[in-house]
Every structure is written in C-alpha cells, then in structure tokens.
Structure 1
C-alpha cells in the first residue's frame, strides 16, 4: 500500500480534487448539489474553513480552501463531508466486498488529491484552474455559464470580469 505524505500546515491553503468512485456518465454531484451545499455548510459550522474557490462538476470537484490559524486538519473536513453526503443518499450504488467489509459506501474514491499552496502565484493559478474547469471539460462554452462555481462570487467582488476566458469554441475530434 502506498505511503501517502501529506503537508499539514496550520492555517494553510490547499487545492483539492475529490472524485466520485464511478466517474463515467455520473452526474450525482450536480444532481444532488443542494445536498452537497448543505453538508459543506454543516461541516464549516463545526470545523471552519474559508472557501477561496470551488467548482462542482458532475462527477468530481475542485476547490481551494484555507484553514483557520492553528488548524491543519483538512482530512477531518473531507471525511465529514464525504460521509454526511453519502449517508444522506439512498443505498443504490454497487458496493464491493472490500468496501462492505469496512462499512464503506461506493460513492467516493477513498483518496483525493491535495496540493499545499506555496505562494501568491501558485494560489492564483489554482483558483484560475478551479474556475476554468467546466470549460476545460467541455461542459460550457463560457466560464460564466457554469452555475456550480464560485466564479460568480469572484465576478461580484471584481476579481474576474464576467467575460473572463472569453467565448471559447470547443472542438471535439480530429481534423484541422
């Protein structure tokens, strides 16, 4: 089994990618967006964190978040979010024997990707990545058209303009 090394920095800022277990053709996160929002808010009330940027796609999410000074336990927050979200859903997914053995659901991938933000440039690159992700995946032609993102809050705060990234035509397949 791999030995994961995590950077625990009190009051740190991290970029995360969190995936559903079954990604292909799955739209659970946008279908259950209100449940996800509610769960995140409940966890934030008991274990505060600041959302710098967040985007929810059909089968995964990306976010940049900052923990309070003196706190480095992002693992607790993700465990609580994933557990509460899973428990609120009906048991309809296929559950492997291994997951059954450990009392786990078949909703989320066990692990997630995290990256400790190192400086302002690293922060801006990751926040931009979060917001451009629906465009990157071909879900919209303009970043502003994706409703499940903090991009809209950043426009109100004048961090981005409404036409940030412009109108990009997405071409799929071969050709010129």
Structure 2
C-alpha cells in the first residue's frame, strides 16, 4: 500500500501520529518510554522544529510541531523518520533485540485555525485519560501537559515552544 503524501505546512503546525508495529505496547515499559522521550528531547533541541505538544502512549505517539521556516532542511517526513529510526535503533541496541518497533509511515495533518491548534493540544494531553490509563492528564508521565499547566512541574528533557496563541 502506498504511503500518503506529506505536504509542507507553510509555517502552520503539524499534528502527527505514529503507531507501534502491529499495535504492540513497548512503551508500557517506563525505561523504553524514557528513552523515547530522550530522543524526542534531542529532536526538540534541533533548530529544524518547534515542538508544541506531545504524548507518548503505550502503542503510539502524538506530536504537535512546526517546521522552522528559516531552516531549508526542515521536512516533516525527514523529522518523523529520524525520530522513529533513532528510537528504534537505540532501543534495539540497548535491549539486544531485532525487528520493527514502528509501523511504516505516519499520519499528519496541517492545522491552520487557532481553535484547532488549541483542540489538538487538549486532545494530545487528554489522550491517556480517554484511553483509561489515568484519571487526570497530569498523572501521565510522558506528555507535555505540565509545560502548559505549571511549567515548574514539567521535568522532562524536552524543549516545548508554546504557540503564540496559547
């Protein structure tokens, strides 16, 4: 099956989702989850993306990010491929395993309306609640929720750049 075409956003944020291979749940293991968060932190420190929000679930992730328009190398496909590839290679090496970690490809949507950006952030942060994993978004350890609710409580090694509208 052909992968969907990914378009450039013209400075608008991308809402990105990617699933684990065969909907496996490797990120139930907090060590695996922390490694992915570390890789996400490396991504967020590069100048090609502005990461606005994220959540890592047991079997998938959601990101809200904007490509840096000043960086001609920025490309959504390259960014997601890099994150997935680095995390898979690292985890396979650390845990001496082989095989796929991620499903091929990813889904993305360009968000152009302020209200939709707010909704995307709320959706991302409420994903663990909707999945029945926690009662409150702040109880889930692998999201950017606290970067919005109380920056002093956000302790993950990830740089969050809030959209100007928030």
Regarding TM over 0.5, the answer is yes
SS of residue paired to 1:54: strand
Paired residues of 1:29 and 1:57 also in contact (CA < 8 A): no
Query: Which range is displaced more, 43-52 or 123-132?
Result: 43-52
CA spacing shift, 1:141–1:13, aligned 2, 3 Å: same
| Residues 28-37 or 63-72, more deviating | 28-37
Equivalent residues in 2 for 1:1-176, closer than 5 Å = 1-2=1-2, 4-27=4-27, 30-71=30-71, 73-90=75-92, 91-93=96-98, 95=99, 106-156=100-150
Greater displacement, 69-78 / 115-124: 69-78
In structure 2, the CA distance between the partners of 1:37 and 1:3, relative to structure 1 (3 Å rule), is closer
Deviations 1:10-59 (CA, angstroms, capped at 9, x unpaired): 32311011111032454357441222122223234445311111111111
Segments of 4+ moved more than 4 angstroms: none
- Number of residue pairs matched? 146
Of 79-88 and 27-36, the range deviating more from structure 2: 27-36
CA RMSD, 1 decimal: 2.1
Structure with greater Cα Rg: 1
Structure 1, unaligned runs of 5 or more: 96-105, 158-176
Give ranges in structure 2 of 5+ residues lacking alignment.
152-166
Which residue pairs with 2:162 in the alignment? none
Counterpart position of 1:173: none
- Which protein, 1 or 2, shows the higher relative CO under an 8 Å CA cutoff with sep ≥ 6? 2
Identify, as 1 or 2, the structure richer in helix.
2
